[in-house]
A = this chain, B = another copy of it.
């Protein structure tokens, strides 16, 4: 089997539904032979490892441990679903405090055991915030931490494909930016549907405005819909997409969706949010997108919402005030407004 790299990939939260799918996906995609599964729940972890070993893969060096030091030492790529899952009725934000504490520990483990990690993908919700907490405490460069945000864009593509009854392939450049939460900016201006700009289709009534608004709600509530349908939180799509992000960071196929990245420019400050990103072996970079006036307004709203969440975490004492971030991570210097 050909692998993209032989560096160690650590999957945190591997006993869970998302983590176990990540592991299988990473193996099947041929990322690296050296995959380590970590979870504090040793029994379930062993069950997942057994399942994967019983697939009969060749050339695989699969290890698993509930020991943090063993797990993190030498890890060059990490993907973490290691938070508490969202239950029916909970918003992503409900998970805030508990998962931010988990992210703090996660970041500290990175700093202690694998400070030279190349890419960390954080997917436990609210991922923008847990990613930020992870970045802060890990002390790594901002481009080394990304969060799963592409799922909102794939949901947009899917909803448009269903609405227009065409193949998802014909919906191009579906994009959401900002927060991966109740308040995200669902863009129309980037999208083409069967070659036609979506904004035109909305303007000329092919997709009536109220239908578009309803469709956006379906995108934003895509996760809730999966819970309603399957009786469990979405796990296949977040696992798959996050492993695609890791693959890109290993030099594999480019990741074609937005990702959450640390943003600190002249407009958005000290925040992690979905932007137009490129993930390569050198880490993630982003560029700003300019939507129409309404989209820009929505993106700014989304940013403000994330700032509120971030400040809540600061108020909880899980993150220090922004002016002190540099003491924890030298790459995070406060941007004065």
Contact = CB atoms under 8 A, between A and B. Distances in A.
Interface of A: 20-21, 24-25, 28-29, 43-44, 46-48, 50-61, 150-151, 153-155, 157-158, 161, 167-169, 222, 225-226, 228-231, 234-237, 240-241, 256-257
Contacts of A50: 158, 222, 225-226, 229
Given A50-B225, A56-B157, 15 more contacts: A20-B236, A21-B21, A28-B29, A44-B229, A44-B231, A47-B229, A47-B230, A47-B231, A50-B229, A51-B235, A52-B236, A53-B161, A54-B158, A55-B237, A57-B168
Contacts of A153: 56
B55 A241 contact: yes
A74 to B, nearest CB: 18
A236 B169 contact: no
A230 B53 contact: no
Nearest to A256: B56
A236 B57 CA distance: 12
A51 B169 contact: no
A226 B257 contact: no
A227 to B, nearest CB: 9
A18 to B, nearest CB: 11
* Copies of this chain per assembly: 2
Given A25-B28, A28-B25, A28-B29, A54 B237 contact: yes
Contacts of A57: 168
A52 B167 contact: no
Given A24-B240, A28-B28, A226 B53 contact: no
Contact of A47 (B24, B25, B226): B226
18 contacts: A21-B21, A25-B28, A28-B28, A28-B240, A47-B228, A47-B229, A47-B231, A48-B236, A50-B226, A53-B158, A53-B161, A54-B151, A54-B155, A54-B222, A54-B237, A55-B154, A55-B241, A60-B168
A53 B236 contact: no
Contacts of A235: 51
A56 B24 contact: no
Pick the 8 closest A-B CB pairs, nearest first: A47-B229, A47-B230, A56-B154, A54-B237, A51-B236, A53-B158, A55-B240, A54-B154
Nearest to A229: B47
Nearest to A56: B154
A22 to B, nearest CB: 12
